[in-house]
Structure 1
Amino acid sequence: MNSTIYDVSRLSGVSTATVSRAFSNPELVREGTRRKVYEAAEVLHYSPNAIAQAMARQRTDRIAFLICKEGATILDEFYAGICDGIMNAANRTDYELMISTAADWDLAANTSKNKQVEGVILGGNAKPELVSELQNRGIAVVLVNNRMAGFDLPCVVSDEYGGVRQALEHLISRGHRNIAMLAGRFSPYILNERYRAFLEIAQAHGLPVDARHIKLCDPTVESAAEACRELLSRPDRPTAIFGTNDVVAAGAMKAARRLGLRLPEELAVTGLDDASVCGMLEPELTSVHIDCRRMGELSVERLQSLLAGDENVPQVTVVPTELRVRRSA
């Protein structure tokens, strides 16, 4: 059985794109990586001529961005921002960019196999089996807005901890001590990071924190409004609500309005994401801005480094956040 470019990729531990470049454009590949590729090709009795033929048949210079969020579309505002950054960065390269969503996971996996995608950026809550499948085929993988235990691959994320800290410290600076968190059920990574940050920062400032101060809800306005109504119906109701994203925060504002509370005099509300809805609410919503476009650009940069055989690609890249103060808090 003749060896293939995928066999060389697996044995050398680099992507098929890097194998291709090691022979077609060796000056673009690090010396140590080239050596690994050439040694693997020699062990497999795979000659440069055969590899060149394989490249002519198989190399596509195609990368993909998959939005791994259930029910998401390309119009999802958060991932549209990331996609904008990815497209902007990809346009400065020779790569052809493909875009798909969680609804097309199976199709996307088949496409990457049939179309010979060289690298994939997975946005959000990617399934481990999808990551494994891609890596087993020698396809370079980068995560954006997610980190995944058990996999050795670069991740680009926002400063979740810093964002929560900015929101809470703003509320504390306004005199609030009884602060509750309305936590949307997002991906495990996002929920866990924001939940952990809220607990640690509240405790560091000596705020009372127990189960009564944290309420889970679905990431919809109505679910958040119902959960917030329960928080606000307590005798010791909170004077401020931190919503773990802007949709959840909008639900909190809706609940407050239904109960006749004045914002921000009787209840302050902050969100996280700085979505366009912040300017549509009354009062306008204070929120933490996430630079989605920059996250997308950095994802492409990390993928390019992997495809070039760079062995020193940062495992975690954190993009700073910025509090945008408006009238809700």
Structure 2
Amino acid sequence: MKLAGTTISDIARRANVSKSTVSRVLNDKSVVNQQTRETVLSAAASLGYQANMFARGLASGRSMTVGVVTQKIGSPFYDMMMQGVIQGFTGTGYSPLFVDGQWEESTELEVIRALLGRQVDGLLLLGGGLPQQDLNELQEQLPTIVVGKEIPGWQDRCVYIDNFAGAYDATKHLLDFGHRNIAIVRGIIEHQDAVRRYEGYTAALQDAGLRVDPDLVLDGNFTAQSGIVGVNSLLMRGKAFTAVFCANDMVAYGARLALQRQGIRVPDDVSIVGFDDQAESAFVTPPLTTVRQPGVEMGAAAARGLVKVIQGQDCELPVLRPKLILRESVSRITIP
């Protein structure tokens, strides 16, 4: 039985490479062929090698940790992005530290200061509402990537989807199925996602030769409760509508519940479309037609990109196209 810990020499023999190559891989000091890197890391893992991360940080000037600021831990969509972040950092030597901004600017600033105090090597901001001036100052201090927002001047430092296109496709789907009185329950008014989704909704109506009826526009806040409140408001005012486009799936769940409580059937009487495609949306009754936002892929792409930025490499981040997922919450109606 070997009493001493696994050494670089052991890993080099197992991977059939030089000790200097093993050192470069384990310390991220220079670019190494990806296949060679994976071979070395696999050999290290099979031998049970555990690096002294504190000592490595002292030697390299890095902490080998990255701060990740999410919003509302427990939110299904942000949890998907965090799963992607974990996947993206796997095998890189970097460990994410997760904190919760709770959709409050002051809280977000507070947790970011705490991460800076921990000497993290970079930041991933999942959503959030920091002004661009604060974001620009952060970028000057250390590598920072924002997920879920498009920021002017931040080329290859943002990972986001085309929210306008997703909302346009969802609204057009309802129009194609004969709906004309289409209500919308929006998200947080100041939130970029909510703004772009509302713009997509209005553009689809206008392209169909319809005006936007302000009485069918309800303000929400991305919660199921706001879906309940929005639909109840329409029903109490006696406003005619045959479909509801919801800012996200949580809002759609609330809208469906409000309709059910009034004996209104989905989709026989009113159709519903959501946004995000949470895992539960395939199993609610009826299964929800929604716009898939690839949260896991967004988080993974951002994590991989941030590692490249920290290491001084070029980083190209994708703009991801959402996909309309057709299920059973929309029915066709006859146009009079």
- The offset of 1:57, in angstroms, is 7.4
One-letter amino acid of the structure 2 residue matched with residue 260 of structure 1: G
Q: Distance in 2 between matches of 1:150 and 1:319?
A: 18
Partners of 2:223 and 2:62 in 1: CA distance: 43
**1:286 counterpart = 2:285:** no
Q: Is the 8 A contact 2:189 2:219 kept in 1?
A: no
1:91, CA displacement in angstroms?
A: 0.7
1:113 corresponds to which of 109, 116, 131: 116
Q: How does 1:10-89 map to 2 (within 5 A)?
A: 25=29, 56=59, 58-67=61-70, 69=71, 72-73=72-73, 75-89=74-88
* Closer, same or farther: CA 57–307 of 1 in aligned 2, 3 Å: closer
**Cα distance between partner residues in 2 of 1:291 and 1:195:** 20
Q: Is the 8 A contact 1:143 1:153 kept in 2?
A: no
The two structures have a TM-score, normalised by structure 1, of 0.75
Q: CA deviation at 1:120?
A: 0.7
149-158 or 234-243, larger mean C-alpha shift: 149-158
CA distance in 2, matches of 1:308, 1:206: 51
Which stretch of the first structure deviates more once superposed, 104-113 or 116-125?
Answer: 104-113
Separation of aligned partners in 1, 2:252 and 2:258: 10
Partner AA of 1:81 in structure 2: M
Task: Please report how far the alpha carbon of residue 26 of structure 1 lies from its aligned counterpart in structure 2 after TM superposition.
Answer: 5.7
CA contact (8 A) 2:168 2:203 kept: no
Q: Retained in 2: the 8 A contact 1:144–1:299?
A: yes
What TM-score results when the alignment is normalised by the length of structure 2? Answer: 0.73
Partners in 2 of 1:257 and 1:95 — Cα distance? 48
Map 1:262-301 → 2, pairs under 5 A = 262-301=265-304
One-letter code aligned to 1:135: Q
Structure 1 window deviating more from structure 2 (183-192 vs 195-204): it is: 183-192
Comparing 76-85 with 110-119, which one deviates more in the overlay?
110-119
Tell me which protein shows more strand as a share of its residues. Answer: 1
Query: Does the aligned pair in 1 maintain the 2:274–2:291 contact within 8 Å?
Result: yes
Q: CA deviation at 1:286?
A: 1.2
Range moving further from structure 2, 91-100 or 189-198:
91-100
With over 3 angstroms needed to count, the CA separation of the structure-2 counterparts of 1:93 and 1:186, relative to structure 1, is farther
Contact 1:85 1:296 in 2 (8 A): yes
Residue 162 (structure 1) aligns with: 165
Q: Distance in 2 between matches of 1:223 and 1:307?
A: 40
**What amino acid is the match of 1:83?**
M
Is 1:182 aligned with 2:188?
A: no
Number of the residue aligned with 1:260? 263
Partner secondary structure for residue 230 of structure 2:
helix
**Identical aligned pairs, as a percentage?**
27
CA distance in 1: counterparts of 2:189 and 2:307, whole angstroms = 29
Cα distance in structure 1, aligned partners of 2:288 and 2:139: 42
Tell me, in whole angstroms, the C-alpha distance in 2 between the residues paired with 1:183 and 1:283.
Answer: 22
Work out whether 1:326 is the aligned partner of 2:327.
yes
Aligned equivalents of 2:205, 2:313: Cα separation in 1: 41
Distance 1:58 1:27, change over 3 A: closer
Runs of 4+ in 1 over 6 A off after TM superposition: none
Residues paired across the two proteins, number? 277
* Cα distance per residue 1:3-42 (max 9 Å; x no partner): xxxxxxxxxxxxxxxxxxxxx94658xxxxxxxxxxxxxx
Q: Find out whether 1:134 has 2:141 as its counterpart.
A: no
Kept after mapping to 1: 8 A contact 2:129/2:191 = no
User: Do the aligned partners of 1:182 and 1:215 also contact (CA within 8 Å) in 2?
Assistant: yes
Cα offset for 1:119? 0.9
Structure 2 unaligned residues grouped into runs of 5+: 1-27, 33-56, 331-336
Equivalent residue in structure 2 for 1:221, among 224, 247, 266: 224
Distance 1:132 1:291, change over 3 A: same
Deviations 1:262-311 (A, max 9, x none): 22121111111111332443222211111111001110122123223245
Runs (5+) with no aligned partner, structure 1: 1-23, 29-53
Larger RCO (CA under 8 A, 6+ residues apart): 1
Change (3 A) 1:152 1:161: closer
SS of the residue 1:184 aligns to: coil
With over 3 angstroms needed to count, the CA separation of the structure-2 counterparts of 1:191 and 1:95, relative to structure 1, is same
**Is the aligned partner of 1:210 residue 2:213?**
yes
1:238 corresponds to which residue?
241
Deviation at 1:156, TM superposition (A): 0.5
The superposition leaves residues 94-114 of structure 1 with CA deviations (integer Å, 9 ceiling, x where unpaired) of 212211111564553344333
Calculate the aligned-residue CA RMSD, in Å. Answer: 2.8
- Over 3 Å counting, the alpha-carbon distance change for 1:108 and 1:221 in structure 2 is closer
Q: Give CA-to-partner distance per residue, 1:218-240, whole Å, 9 cap, x none.
A: 33323321221222445551111
